[in-house]
Each structure stands twice: as C-alpha cells, then as structure tokens.
Structure 1
Amino acid sequence: MKLLDTLHRWTGGLIGLVLALLGLSGTILLYEHLWIGLPGTGDPLRGDLATVAATTEKLMAMPGTQGIIYADERFGLHQMRFEEGVGAYASQSGEVVTRWASQWERPELWIFDFHHHLFAGDSGEWVIGIAGLCGLFFVISGVILWWRTRKTFQLRLWPKRMSRPSIVMHHRDLGIVVAPLLLISIVTGTMMIFRPFAMVMIAPFGSPAEAAKAIEPPKYRGGPLAEKPDYTAMLTEARRRFPDAEFRILSLPRKPGDPIMLRMRQQAEWLPNGRSTLWFDAATGEVLGARDALAMAPGAQAFNMAFPIHASKVGGWSWRIVMTISGLSMAMLGSFAVWTFWFRRPKPARRPAKKAALAST
C-alpha cells in the first residue's frame, strides 16, 4: 500500500498539471456555441436540400475553399476551410460573417488545438494519451487508497484551509465522489487518442479487428478535380441514399486522384458529424462508394460513441452539467496535486540533538 501511495503521489505531481489544463479547456469547449457570439450562431437549422445545395455551390465557388463543416441545431453557422489555419464562418444563406488567417484569431480554435494536441500536433497527442493512461491509474489508485480512510470522509467543495493536510483531505474525499465521472472523461478521451486502448475498451461489443477495419476509410481513386464540380447532384444523391440524414462535412481531395468526401449524420447516430459517408469521383461526381454508419460492426459503433459522450454532444443540458463537474473537478484535483507535491511538501522531521554522554570519572 505504501508503494501504491508513492506512485499515486508521483503520478499526480508529474502529470497533474496536464490533466488540470485538459479538464479546464475541455469544460470551456463544452459551451463554445454559447460564447462565440457571432451574428447567426443561434439561427435555426435550415437543412432542406434546396437551401443546403444553393449555399454549398456559393461557398465552394469562393477561391481556395477546401471544405465546409455545415451548421447544426446547436451552432447556426457554416465553417469554411481554406489552407491550413485559414477559415471563415458563413451564414446558412452563404454570406461570410467573419474570416481568420490563423487559428490564433479564434479562441475556440486554439483552445480546441490545445485540448487535442497541446499545440504540438501528433507529439502532443502522444503526451495527452500518456496523461490519460496516468489519469486512469490516478483514479483507480485513489479509490483504493481512500478506502482505508473512509471513516473520516467529509465532502467539501473547497479545502477547509489552504494547508497541506486540509488540501490532501479535500483531494481524497472529493476524488472519491467524482471518480465515476473522471473515469468516463478519461476513458472516452484516451480512446480517441490511443487506438490500441480503444480496441481494448470496445472488445466487449464485438471483434476489435472488425471494428478497426470498419473505422478505417476505404481507398478510392478517381480523376482530377473538375473545374466546377456539381455539388447539387452530389448532395441530391446523398439525400436519396440517407433520406433522414443531415449534411455535416464536405471535403475536397487532398491530392490528385482522391475523392470528394461527404459525411452525413443519421438521426440514430450519436456522433455530431456522423460516420455515414459517401465518396464521389472528383472529376465526374460519380459515387465511388458509401458507408452506412448504422450498419457498421458493433465495436465500431461503440467507438463512435466515445466522442459524443466525452464532448457532451448527447444528453442535453443534464449531461453537459455532469461533464462540467467532471472537467472542473479534474482541474481542481490536478492543480492541487501539483501544488501540494512541489510547493507544500512536508518538511523532514528533525533528528533529536544528540545528548552529550561524557561521564566524569
């Protein structure tokens, strides 16, 4: 138990700040649709084919446009994507509301980049993944260590005093209360970063190998991008195949020969951007392939639920409040763990002075 206690304290001291910042940034992102504050963010969704097709043709005709993330019921603006870091928001009628030349001009973008990559791309994802695994150990070991002090349990939202003993007691008792919420946040977040961990978590729902195969996008080859692709025809075909689905993401090819990709969300899908996908030949607009997310392997469907649970994209306000408690608790527990470990460490006990033992003869 002493070894477990030592590992728990060192885990908190070394990785606690990363977990705290991830918890805080994640909580802020839960409410981004409320604080972005641009005209049109609260507009009702206009998802009929005629409106979406007309707006798509208008926006995709703008020079440099690489794709569109369509408006949804929570956020009433389309997000346009140009070259890396450059983008714009547009109304559902196709009028540009604001542009940016770098993600640093939009707080929702750089906070998202920090939460998912720590501003370090793939390397940052590895750090977050390792932090997630450490956080998982942190929660499980904390529950085990709490059991021996369960009789002194006192729930406080804030430490009684800012002394090390009070902070440690608060950390221990608050941690046991929010442990189930932290597990949900950490497990779902780590699943999105570490694919092997995700495959272990979805194993009870079906074959991980089948799930991994279903998740990977198929490879299609087509012709070069046409000068004026017929987006209306593509959207019309997509709506025919998935009549109740929302248009979510339209992406142009990254390199010659790649297809145009259109993602849709069927009503039964939890993932906000959906996994129901169509691929079109960039030269002719012909359908190269389609994937029905609701027909994917059970394990793949379980994997697709990780993000909406983690980001509170399901469950309405009640689940968003639950994940807010989880995020703020992680921020508090992680920051206090670092503070007590590095700046409020107990002073070593002084050795009693040796008494003179000389006897006169």
Structure 2
Amino acid sequence: MKLLSLLHRWTGGLVGLVLAVIGLSGTVLLWEDSWILLDGANDAPASSPAELAKAIEVAVETAPGLSRITFASEEIGLHQAIYLDGSGAYIAQDGTVIDRWSGIWERPELWLFDLHHYLLMGEFGKTITGVLGIILLAFTITGAILWWRTRKTFRFRLWPARYTASAIVRHHRDLGVVGSPLLLIAAATGTMMVFPAISSVLLSPIANADAKPELPSDLASVSESTDWAVVIANAQSAYPSAAARRLMMPAAPGEPIAIRFRQDFEWTPNGRSYAWVSPEGGSIVAKDDPAMGDAASTVVEKLYPIHAAKVGGFLWRIAMTFAGLALVLLGLLASWSFWRGKFSSRSTKFLSPVESAN
C-alpha cells in the first residue's frame, strides 16, 4: 500500500498540472454554445438543399482552398467554413460572412479545442492526451483504493478547509472519490477516442467484419460548374430523414465530395452517416450507413457525445462540468502541495540544527 501511495503521489505531482489544463479547457468547451456571442449564433438552422448550397457558395467565394463546411445546428446557428491554410469563417443563414480568422489563435473555441485534444502539439500532443487518459484511469482506481482506508473520516468539500498539507490531502482524497465515477467515464471515453485500437480490442466480442466502401479516384474535380444544390439534394436522397451536418471537399483530384448526415438514432452531433457524391452531376458514388453497422461501431459512436456532454441534456452537462472542475482542483492542488513539500523539505535540509528547530 505504501508503494501504491508513493506512485500515486509522485505521478500526480508530475502530471497534475497538465491534467488540470485538460480539465479546464474541456469544461469551457462544454459550454461553447453559450459564449460564442456572434450575430446569428442563436438563429434556427436552415436545412433545405438550396439554403445549404448558398452557404457552400459563399464559403467557396470567401477564400480559396475550402476544406470543409460544418452546417448550422441547434447549438450554433452559424455555418463554419475551414480552409486548407488554417483560416476560417462563420457564415450566417442569409449568407453574410459574420467573422473571418487567419489562424486558431483568433477564435477561442478553436485554440481551446486544440489545447484540449492536442495540447497545441499536433498528433504528438494527441498521443500525450491519450496517455494522460490512461494515467487518469489509474489515478481514479488507485485513489479509491487509498481512500478506502480512511473512509470513516470522509467529509465532502468543494475547497480545502485550510491550506495545510494535511487539509489538502484530505480534500484531494474525498473530492476524488466523489468525482471518481464521472472521471472514469471521461477518461475511458477520451482514451478510447484517441487510441481506437483499445476500443477495437475491448469491443471485439461484439464486432463484425465491416468493409468500408471503395471510393473512386477518377472523378472530375470540383469546379465553377459544380451545382451545390444538386449535390446536397442527391446526397440527401441517401438519408431522406437525416440532417446534413458537414460537407468535406475532395482531399485529392478525382475523389468525391463527402457529406456527413445525422440520423435520428445517432448521438454524435455531426453524425456518422456518409454519402460520397461526384462533383460533376452530383450522383452518389458510395455511402456508409451506421444503421447497417455492428454493435461495436454503435458503442464507438457514443464515445464523443458522452465525453463532450452532447447528450443527456442540462443535467449531464452539469455532471461533466463538475468532473472537469474536480480534475482542475485535483491536479492543481496535487502539484502545488507535492512540489511545495519537496522544496520546503529541501530548504530545511540545508539549515543548521538550531535554525531547523526555530
């Protein structure tokens, strides 16, 4: 038990601050729809092919190199266009360009997302966040084991009673055990998203071989003659009752346009229902319908909406907010008390016996 306590304390001291950053950025992102206060952010989303086509046309005209456009939703009533150079724009339902940016630092929701998912370090940072998710799982389990010995002294506080080492340890222990169920969910869902191989292994008993559709690579490229209304209308015919959520331009010449839809049974805000359309003529060349998928893919589809509180309504968002803020307190106070104790011990070591006694 002493070794377990030592590992828990040292690891918390080393990574607590980073976990606090992830917890705080994730908590702020939970309420993203409440603090994006641009004109039109609260407008009801348009959904007809003609209205969506107009948004695509505006996005194409606004800047070269359109990568994707995420259509307005109930959360944010603005279309978001992202370009290959990292710039972007918010477009209102009437086609007005509301805001432009040249990089993520000009929009808080963009750099907060990058911080939470990638630690501002790209794919390497994403791997680190996945490892931190595994560490958080270990923290939560070992913390509950260590708490069990002192369960009779349990007293829940949102803040330490005093700024002494013992009070901070008691607060850390009791807050951690209260938040442990939610922290386990947040850590597990986040880790499985970062490392799909883990979810593949865990869900293999309920998975079936699922061959992805082969996409053509010899189609005509997107051009001025591309009829976006026809593209959207034809893609919509693949999922008549679904909502079009995102259009992605071909990654290479000859490839089709990809359009994501959200069907009623899907929890993911942007859906996982794909239709691939030819830029010339707008005919459907392939589709990937999650309704035909296996149980494992159904579980995987639920990871992000649970993690980001995109389902469960206001109460689940409050619950995940508590989990995020708890992680902030646990990480910050663990790091602060650990290193304060180390430096205090070091400074005392170099004092004379008389000075130490005083």
Q: TM-score, normalised by structure 2?
A: 0.91
Deviations 1:25-74 (A, max 9, x none): 00000111111210000011222333223333443344413321101011
Long gaps (5+) in structure 2: 354-358
CA distance in 1, matches of 2:204, 2:9: 31
Please say if residues 221 and 281 of structure 1, whose CA atoms lie closer than 8 Å, have aligned partners that are also in contact: no
Distance 1:256 1:139 in 2: 48
- CA distance in structure 1 between the partners assigned to 2:26 and 2:105 by the alignment: 18
CA deviations on 1:138-167 (whole Å, 9 max, x unpaired) are 000001111111111111111110111000
In the aligned structure 2, how far is the partner of 1:91 from the partner of 1:23?
Answer: 31
Q: Is residue 2:341 matched to residue 1:340?
A: no
Instruction: Select which of 233, 241, 245 maps to 2:242.
Output: 245
Rounded to whole Å, the distance in 1 between the matches of 2:306 and 2:322 is: 14
Mapped to 1, the partners of 2:202 and 2:93 lie a distance apart of 39
Query: 1:283 offset after TM fit, Å?
Result: 4.0
Deviation at 1:219, TM superposition (A): 4.0
Matched, 1:221 2:222: no
- 1:145 is aligned with what amino acid? L
Could you list the per-position Cα deviations for residues 64-118 of structure 1 after superposition, in whole angstroms to 9, with x for gaps in the alignment? 1332110101100000112232000000121110101111111111111111111
Moved more, 268-277 or 252-261: 252-261
Amino acid at match of 2:16: G
Identity score, percent: 44
* Residues 1:281 and 2:274 are matched in the alignment: no
Between the aligned partners of 1:151 and 1:293, the Cα distance in structure 2 is 49
Larger CA deviation: 255-264 vs 268-277: 255-264
1:152-167 maps to which residues of 2 (within 5 A)?
A: 152-167=153-168
- Extract unaligned runs of 5+ from structure 1: 354-361
**Residue in 2 aligned with 1:31?**
31
> Alpha-carbon deviation of 1:237?
1.5
Q: Paired residue for 2:50?
A: 50
Question: Matches of 2:265 and 2:100 in 1, distance apart?
Answer: 33
Amino acid at match of 2:28: I
Paired position in structure 1 for 2:71: 70
1:1-361 matches, within 5 Å, as 1-64=1-64, 65-203=66-204, 206-207=206-207, 210=209, 213=210, 218-227=214-223, 228-345=225-342, 347=345
Aligned to 2:356: none
**8 Å contact kept, 1:57–1:232:** no
**Letter of the structure 2 residue corresponding to residue 60 of structure 1:** V
State the number of aligned residues.
Answer: 346
- Tell me the equivalent position of 1:356: none
Q: 2 CA distance for matches of 1:114 and 1:92? A: 29
TM-fit CA distance, 1:180: 0.1
Distance 1:320-1:201 versus aligned 2 partners, 3 A rule:
farther
Aligned partners of 2:214 and 2:7: how far apart in 1?
43
Change (3 A) 1:111 1:217: farther
